[in-house]
Amino acid sequence: MREFLRRLVRRAVKWAGIHPRDPALLKWFPGVSNTASGVAVTETRAFNCAALWAAVRLIAEAKASLPCILYRRVGEGKERAVDHIAYRLLHDAPNSEMTAFTFHEVLQAHALLRGNGYAEIERDVAGTPLALWPLPPDRVRPLRDREGQLWYEVSGGSITRHLRPEYMLHIPGLGFDGTRGYDVLTMARASIGFTLASEEYGARYFGSGVKPSGVLTHPGVLSQTARDNLKQSVEDESGGLDRAHRLMVLEEGMKFDPIGHTPEDAQFLETRKFQTIEIARWFNVPPHMLRDLERATFSNIEHQGIDFVTYSLRPWLIRSEQEYSRKLLSEGERAAHFFEHLVDALLRGDTKTRYEAYSIARNNGFASVNDIRRRENEPAVSVPEADDYLRPVNAVSMGTGVTSPDTLLKIVESVEAGTLSASAGRAVLSASFPSLALERIVAMIPLEVPSGTGTPVNPPATNPPPNGGGQAAA
């Protein structure tokens, strides 16, 4: 009989396309639990946990919101390969039924909750990818044949298919065999079950209303009718939200003793807080991003946001980029193309911090005006100077100097415009062009003439000639 039931269940599971170890099987057996808390943790039930829902939604939506760009290497730079089919599949639409955002969100949610995200690659007869179709992770199983070749078994209804790796886009989470990630729903079922059990306990506790808000004491003995009348009178006068905090008048020596929170109630609230932190650990997200702001401050919340991008989101981005390159590009294309997510928007600081960084980049010569405008999503300025890179004159080496005539001309123009004093201009020319004679410098930037005199201010004394003679004229 037991063997018959086992075969019956196996056939039903195979027909339904569910893996034998899938927690979803528990819904067929309502009295069976897979956690010590007594709560059966299935995929649908797990999403009833608010912290888990928030964690999965946070990472999945954050990743889906980042554009995935296919670049082509051009010399020392790069350009978008918009003419490549893989660019359109991952940036615009992976198939005829969903957008790129939805595709990335679904695939990442599968990888977070079930440890693996699968998408079937539809190809033409030449092997060119045409579409990407997400697959439920509980219906896909990696396996190897007798020769050790990797295959993917896809079950659905009464049909089972076997796909070669080049037809399967697979993004695994943490795992030890390199081909399949651990099922987070299974690994974390104790924590998830405890969270669901505490939620259910709290809901039943407050829903049943067995705990009174206070005790009304009468010095005498009341009949049942008198007790009912007294209770009804108190509820009519003070019961309900619209009559809260009203003054209560007691007669015949009656006393009202309120019942506050017991230590057990306080411990229950602490347990609820702890479970949010526990779920945050499983998904490696900062607690404040699950709306737990107890330990977050204005001084560290920006850096915690950067930590989220660096330590929570970036590993998933790298996994995806490498799998995209491996499955959607040929071996020859991988040498000249690569995928990359645009994460600059998530790393942007406040306006003041960004503008201070732009000022440093501009003044130190490694960003132009148009470079800065592109980072701010502003159109480029159509003037030649907007693409120039500055070179600070005070950072020029005294030994080598700057030999560019344009630099010399700019220094002279700055003196003529009044933005640089004549003495400072001569000093900059002397330091930047050591081989330039003093007479030539004075000819380009004449000495100042004090008002009321016709005698120019003498330049500073120069080094004496090699014979030791000579002195600056008086």
Q: pLDDT, tens digit, for every residue of 188-230?
A: 888 888 778 877 777 766 654 545 567 778 787 878 887 788 7
Q: What is the mean pLDDT of the chain?
A: 78
Tokens of 30: 């309502």
Is residue 250's pLDDT more than 80?
no
The Cα–Cα gap between 196 and 39 comes to 7
pLDDT for residue 190: 84
Mean per-residue pLDDT, 232-236: 75
What does DSSP assign to residue 49? Answer: S
Alpha-carbon 19 to chain mean position = 32
pTM for the whole structure: 0.65
Tens of pLDDT, residue by residue over 390-437, are 876 655 554 444 456 667 787 888 888 888 788 877 777 776 666 677
**Least confident among 61-65, 229-233, 458-462:** 458-462
Distance CA 317, CA 6 (A): 42
- Cβ(309)–Cβ(36) under 8 Å? no
Q: What is the C-alpha separation between 50 and 276, in angstroms, rounded?
A: 9
> Among residues 118, 109, 1, which one has the least CA distance to residue 60?
109
Q: Domain boundaries in the chain?
A: 11-113+183-209+262-347, 348-390, 397-448
Q: Which residues of 75-213 form beta strands (DSSP E)?
A: 77-80, 116-123, 129-135, 140-144, 150-156, 159-163, 168-172
What CA dihedral angle connects 261, 265, 271 and 273, to 10 degrees? Answer: -30
Q: What is the pLDDT of residue 192?
A: 83
User: Among 29-38, 142-151, 301-310, 456-465, where is mean pLDDT lowest?
Assistant: 456-465
* Tokens describing residue 20: 């034998």
78-92, 256-270, 378-392: range with highest mean pLDDT: 78-92
Q: Which amino acid is at 184?
A: V
Cα 337 to Cα 329: distance, rounded to the nearest angstrom: 8
Q: What is the CA radius of gyration of the chain?
A: 37
Question: In Å, what is the CA distance from 208 to each residue of 197, 199, 211, 213, 385?
Answer: 16, 14, 8, 13, 74
Among 88-92, 115-119, 397-401, the minimum mean pLDDT is found in 397-401
Say how many C-beta atoms besides its own lie within 10 A of residue 237's C-beta.
13
User: Residue 124 CB: number of other CB atoms within 10 A?
Assistant: 9
pLDDT band for position 31 (50/70/90)?
very low
pLDDT of the residue at 471: 44
pLDDT of residue 60: 95
pLDDT of amino acid 217:
80
